[in-house]
Amino acid sequence: MIITSCGNSQALAKRVAKKLRASFSPLTISAFPDGDRYLKWNTPVKGKKVVILHSFQPHPNESLWNVIWAAETAKDLGARKVILVAPYLAYMRQDIRFHPGEAVSSRIMAKHLNACTDKIITIDPHLHRYKSLKDIFSIAAVSITANQLIGQYIKRRIKNPVIIGPDWESYQWAEVIAREVGCGHTVLEKTRFSSRHVKSKMTKQIVLKDKDVIIVDDIISTGHTMIEALKKAKAQKARSVIGIGVHGLFVENGLGKMKKAGFDQIITTNCIEHNTNKIDIAPLLVEELKKEK
C-alpha cells in the first residue's frame, strides 16, 4: 500500500502510513508557466493499492482537481485500487438547487470522484438532505464518525457538561455524544438567512445555568452558527461555553469572531489541520485502512 496526499493533511497521512507500516510517497504538484497543472507520482504504483489522504480544506476547488489528477494518473500507471481518504469532504452542503439555475455541487463532485477512484472514506460528512453517501457515490463509500472520540474527550476533561446542537441536523452529533458522555442535551432550531446570517432559538428547554455548555457541530465555517448558540448559553448564565467542531474551517476570521463573542475554548479534530486540533482521528483511519491491507 502506498499513501500520499495532495498537500493538505500531509502530517496525518505520514502518521497513518507509519502506523500501517505502509510507505508515504509525496507527489510533485506544480504548474507550468501558463498555469496548467503538473503532477507526478514519484514511486511506481503499478499493481499497488494507492491511498490519497487529503482533506478538502483549505482550497476546496484546487483540492478536487489535484485529487482527480492524482487518482487518474495512478490508474493510468496501473494502480490496482485507488482509495481516497478525505477526512473533510467539501461541497456537501450544496445538496439541492436552492435557487433556480444553481449547480448541485455535491453531485458534480461525486460524479468526478466516481469516475477516477474505487473507494472513498470520509469522516462525518455533511449529510443533511442525503440519507447516506450512497445517494451520490456509486463507488464504495465509507462514512466514519468521530462522535466516540469527541465523547471521550469531553468525559476526560469537562466537569459539568451539557451538550447543545446548534441546528436540527446536528442531532447526529449532539444526541450521540451526550449519550456517550452521559449528560443532557438539546438541539436548537436555526433559520439561515444567508451564508453569513443565521438566527437560532431553543425550543426544547434545558437548564444551562452554572453548566459547562458544549456546542457541537460537524462544520465550523464562518462561526456564526456557533456564536448564535453561544448567545443562548450566555443568556442562561452558563459557567463556561466550549465549541467543538469536527471540521474547523474558520473562514473569514471565524476563530477570531468566536473568541471575541466569548467562547472559553474552541476545539476541533484534525480532519482539517488547524491550531485548534485537540482530537486525533488517526486511529479511526488506521482501523478502516487495515481492512485494505
Catalytic positions, written as ranges: 190
Q: Does 224 bind ligand R5P (CB under 6 A)?
A: yes
Tell me whether residue 73 or residue 222 sits nearer to ligand R5P (CB atom).
Answer: 222
The H or E element spanning position 233 is: helix 224-235
Indicate which single residue of 221, 240, 268, 270 sits in contact with ligand R5P (rule: CB under 6 A).
221
Peptide bond into 166 cis (omega under 30): no
Q: Does 217 bind ligand R5P (CB under 6 A)?
A: yes
Residue 146 carries which side chain, given as an amino acid letter? A
Segment contacting ligand R5P by CB under 6 A, of 12-20, 35-43, 104-112, 222-230: 222-230
Region of 284 on the Ramachandran plot (φ > 0 left; ψ -120 to 50 alpha; else beta): alpha
Tell me whether residue 6 or residue 230 sits nearer to ligand R5P (CB atom).
Answer: 230
Q: Does 198 bind ligand R5P (CB under 6 A)?
A: yes
Q: Does 225 bind ligand R5P (CB under 6 A)?
A: yes
Segment contacting ligand R5P by CB under 6 A, of 1-9, 134-142, 221-229, 269-277: 221-229
The distance of Cα 264 from the centroid of its chain, to the nearest Å, equals 22
Tell me whether residue 48 or residue 126 sits nearer to ligand R5P (CB atom).
Answer: 126
**Torsion, Cα of 15, 220, 265, 263 (10° steps):** 170
| 43 class by beta-carbon count within 10 Å (0-12 exposed, 13-18 middle, 19+ buried) | middle
Q: Does 223 bind ligand R5P (CB under 6 A)?
A: yes
Q: Does 124 bind ligand R5P (CB under 6 A)?
A: no
Segment contacting ligand R5P by CB under 6 A, of 8-16, 220-228, 267-275, 277-285: 220-228
- Map residues 161-180 to x or -, x wherever contact with ligand R5P holds by CB under 6 A: -----xx-xx----------
- What is the rounded CA–CA span in Å between residue 12 and residue 53? 8
Q: How many helices (H) and strands (E) does the chain have?
A: 8, 16
| Shortest Å distance, C-beta 206 to ligand R5P | 19
Write out the three cell numbers for 81.
Answer: 485500487
Read off the DSSP letter of residue 51: E
Indicate which single residue of 222, 269, 270, 276 sits in contact with ligand R5P (rule: CB under 6 A).
222
The H or E element spanning position 40 is: strand 37-40
Q: Does 220 bind ligand R5P (CB under 6 A)?
A: yes
Tell me whether residue 13 or residue 214 sits nearer to ligand R5P (CB atom).
Answer: 214
Residue carrying the nine cell digits 482501523: 287
Q: Between β-strands 28-31 and 37-40, what pairing exists: parallel, antiparallel or unpaired?
A: antiparallel
150 neighbors 279 (Cβ within 8 angstroms)? yes
Tell me whether residue 211 or residue 224 sits nearer to ligand R5P (CB atom).
Answer: 224
Q: Which residues bind ligand R5P (CB under 6 A)?
A: 166-167, 169-170, 198, 217-225
